Structure 1
Amino acid sequence: MKRKALIILRLFIGLILCSIGTVMTINGNLGFQPWDVFHQGISIMLNITMGQASIIVSAIVIIIDYIAGEKIGWGTIFNMLVIGTFMDILMLNHLLPVFNNEILRIVSIIIGMLSMSIGSYMYIGAGLGSGPRDGLMVALTKKTKKSVFIVRTVIELFVLVIGYIMGGSVGIGTIIMVSLVGYFIQMVFKIFKFDVNKVKHRFINDDIKYCQGTILRRVKKIL
């Protein structure tokens, strides 16, 4: 039980760090990362918060992932709920600073990318499933037989363009994040000596099978 509690704690700390990082990049106010451009476009179109838009988009992506044959973990579900919820808590209550100085805005973006990278290391390492958008990338990579780089680039360009058309913010910050976020993640993984390929994820299907097996064994004992 203690080990499971630590895994869940690690998952939530990672997701909260991702939320903090996302809001820091938004507060930089120099243009958003592609998915957040899309979220902002959705929020403008539907008159909802950025966090609510993130949750809606994540839910749709999870459905697409499932239809495409990707396994869904509890971490995937909590990724959808926790990040969007904490984004709203942080933004609506102004819990993180917003800078006017150009240099401090860039610093805010850099801190945001670092926080998101550490958060990714934490929640992926929990082994409870990948995020909805990562699942989409994997699913499309399998279906199209194209490289991860090509698939990720196409996905991010698509959501960036659609989000921009709907009113999302694109700027120098967008270019900075698209260019550097991968390096930040790679750097954090290297510092913590973390190999994402060695993580064995536990999916919701595994828990369902475990529960079914437990019930069947107890029924057999009764009979």
Structure 2
Amino acid sequence: MRRTSQLAVGLVLYAVSMAVLVDSGLGNMPWDVLSEGVAARTGATFGTVTLAVSALVLACWIPLRQRPGVGTVANVLVIGLLVDPFLRLLDAAGDQPLAARLAMAACGIALNALATALYVGAGLGPGPRDGLMTGLVARTGRPVALVRTGIEVVVVVTGIALGGTFGVATVAYALLVGPLVHVLLPRLTVRDVPDAASPALQPGAAAAR
């Protein structure tokens, strides 16, 4: 039950964080630069493109032999369906001064780190983009940092070419979200608790290890 509720909260907050960063106008998350660019060229909504891109990335798991979990599918659906309504709510507030937009960008980055730690910590399956990264790492043997950076550079450059927003918040996100998740994830990871009949709780169990 905790895993499911934590996953749900994390995904909702993730959609909120995306909308906040997009609305700040100071730069999107790397994949959102691409989604916004595609939306600008096609006329589709940001949420619709986000959903389509997530589904396409998930399809790339097939040759990589990655297996999605319930959290993976929920990631695609919940975030893709909720980000547009959150964007409409923020748009209704009108244009904000630069100081407010900077605060929005900072809050969006922090909220995204919390959301990521919540849904990853639930242990019900990685997001489509994380699974793509880990699948490529497994297949190529390249370091995680190299693969992740390579993917995000391609995504951002393509997004900029299509008209997506790249800015100071994009750079700040790239630099800060990893360390923030690193701090939060151990505190939010749901761990299985052995029951009373578990050997781990029986006398002499520790000595047997």
Structure 2-normalised TM-score? 0.84
Alignment of 1:35-184 (within 5 A): 35-94=31-90, 100-184=96-180
- Deviation of 1:94 after TM superposition, in Å, equals 3.1
1:101/1:94 CA distance change after superposition, 3 Å: closer
Give secondary structure in 2 for the equivalent of 1:114. helix
2:16 counterpart (12, 15, 20): 20
Which amino acid counterpart does residue 140 of structure 1 have in structure 2?
A: L
1:78/1:15 CA distance change after superposition, 3 Å: same
- Deviation of 1:99 after TM superposition, in Å, equals 5.9
Decide whether the 8 Å contact of 1:19 with 1:86 is kept in 2: yes
Size of the aligned set, in residue pairs, is: 192
Which deviates more, 95-104 or 52-61? 95-104
- Deviation of 1:95 after TM superposition, in Å, equals 7.3
Give secondary structure in 2 for the equivalent of 1:48. coil
1:193/1:75 CA distance change after superposition, 3 Å: closer
Q: 2-side partners of 1:129 and 1:96: how far apart?
A: 34
Cα RMSD of the aligned pairs, angstroms, is 2.0
Q: 1-side partners of 2:162 and 2:14: how far apart?
A: 24
Q: 2-side partners of 1:9 and 1:155: how far apart?
A: 31
Decide whether the 8 Å contact of 2:20 with 2:87 is kept in 1: no
Q: 2-side partners of 1:96 and 1:66: how far apart?
A: 40
Q: 2-side partners of 1:51 and 1:31: how far apart?
A: 17
Q: 1-side partners of 2:80 and 2:34: how far apart?
A: 14
Q: 2-side partners of 1:193 and 1:85: how far apart?
A: 25
Q: Deviation per CA, 1:148-184: give whole Å up to 9, x if none.
A: 1000000000000001111111112211111211122
1:108/1:99 CA distance change after superposition, 3 Å: farther
Q: 2-side partners of 1:98 and 1:130: how far apart?
A: 35
Q: 2-side partners of 1:24 and 1:150: how far apart?
A: 28
Q: 1-side partners of 2:153 and 2:72: how far apart?
A: 23
